[in-house]
Amino acid sequence: MRRTVYTEDHEAFRDTLRSFIEAEVVPHYDEWYEAGIVPKDFYRKLGELGVFGIEVPEEYGGAGIESFKYQAVISEELARAGVSFGGSSVHIALCLPYLTGLATDEQKKRWLPGMAAGEMMFAIAMTEPGTGSDLAGMKTTAKLSDDGTHYVLNGAKTFITGGVNADRVIVCARTAPRRTTTAASASPCSWSTPLWTATPWAASSARSD
Ligand SMILES: Cc1cc2nc3c(=O)[nH]c(=O)nc-3n(C[C@H](O)[C@H](O)[C@H](O)COP(=O)(O)OP(=O)(O)OC[C@H]3O[C@@H](n4cnc5c(N)ncnc54)[C@H](O)[C@@H]3O)c2cc1C
C-alpha cells in the first residue's frame, strides 16, 4: 500500500538519513552496544545532519518545522536498520517542547542552539524509585537556597533515558508541600558527575541527591 502521509521532503530526508545510518551507525553499533554508550561526538554529527534542529525554532538555530513526521521517519529508519541513536530519543521529542513552551527568551538563547547542534544534550528526570506513572507521588524537592541564587535538589531519580550522556537534565521536583493539588516544577540543571551512576542506555539509570 502506498503511503500518502509523507511529502517529497520527508522522503529526501529519509534517503539522507538511511545513508547516514549505514555509514555512521551500523559499522559501530555492536561496539557501542557492548560499551553501553554512544561516543558524544556522534551527537554533533547528528546535529550537523540537522536531525536535532528540525523542530527547533529558526531564531535559535533550527528549521522551525512544527510537525512530528520527521521524528516518525527517524523512528522508521532506525527500526529498519535495527539500531538506535543511543538514548537521544527524548532530547528533542520530550525535552524540546518544555523549553519552547516554558523557558524565557534568555534561556532559549542559552540552550536551544546547543540543543540543535547536538552540543548540549538534554534528558528528563521524572521517575523515582518509588514513583512511576503517578507523578503526584513524587518526593524529590527543589528548595531555593538561602541567598536565593539557586535551587537545591534532594531526592532520587531513575530510568533516565540519555542520562549517561546528558549535559542538562530537566528535573521534575516538588517546590511546595503536597496538598490536594500537585505543586511540581521542572527546571533544567547540569548533571553533577559525582552524584550519578549510569548503566548502558538499554537500561539507563541515574541518581541525584
Ligand atoms: C525504556 C524506558 C525509558 C524511560 N525513560 C525515562 C526517562 O527518560 N525519564 C523518566 O523520568 N522516566 C523514564 N522511564 C520511566 C517511565 O516513565 C516509567 O517506567 C513509567 O512512568 C511507569 O512507571 P513504573 O515503571 O514505576 O510503573 P508503575 O507506575 O508502577 O505502573 C505499573 C503498572 O501499573 C499500572 N498502573 C499504574 N497506576 C495505575 C492506576 N492508578 N490505575 C490502574 N493501573 C495503574 C500501569 O499502567 C502499569 O501497567 C523510562 C522507562 C522505560 C521502560
Better pLDDT: 156 or 178:
156
Inform me whether the pLDDT recorded for 205 exceeds 80: no
- Give residue 133 CA to ligand 1 midpoint distance, Å: 5
Which residue's entry shows cell 502521509?
5
**Residue 80 Rama label (left phi>0; alpha psi -120 to 50; beta):** alpha
Q: How confident is the model at residue 1 (pLDDT cuts 50, 70, 90)?
A: confident
Question: In a mutational test of the pocket of ligand 1, which residue from 94, 133, 157 has the highest number of ligand atoms less than 8 Å from its CB?
Answer: 133
197 has a pLDDT exceeding 60: no
Instruction: Please report the pLDDT score of residue 136 as a whole number.
Output: 85
> Which pTM was predicted?
0.86
Rounded average pLDDT over 107-132: 95
- Using CB distances shorter than 6 Å, the residues near ligand 1 are 90, 123-127, 132-134, 159-161
- Of 64 and 183, the one with more pLDDT: 64
Beta strands 122-125 and 168-174 are parallel
Q: Could you tell me the domains of the chain?
A: 8-88+96-120 (1.10.540.10), 123-203 (2.40.110.10)
pLDDT at residue number 135? 87
pLDDT of amino acid 151: 86
Q: What mean pLDDT is predicted for residues 97-110?
A: 92
Alpha carbon distance 101, 98 (integer Å): 5
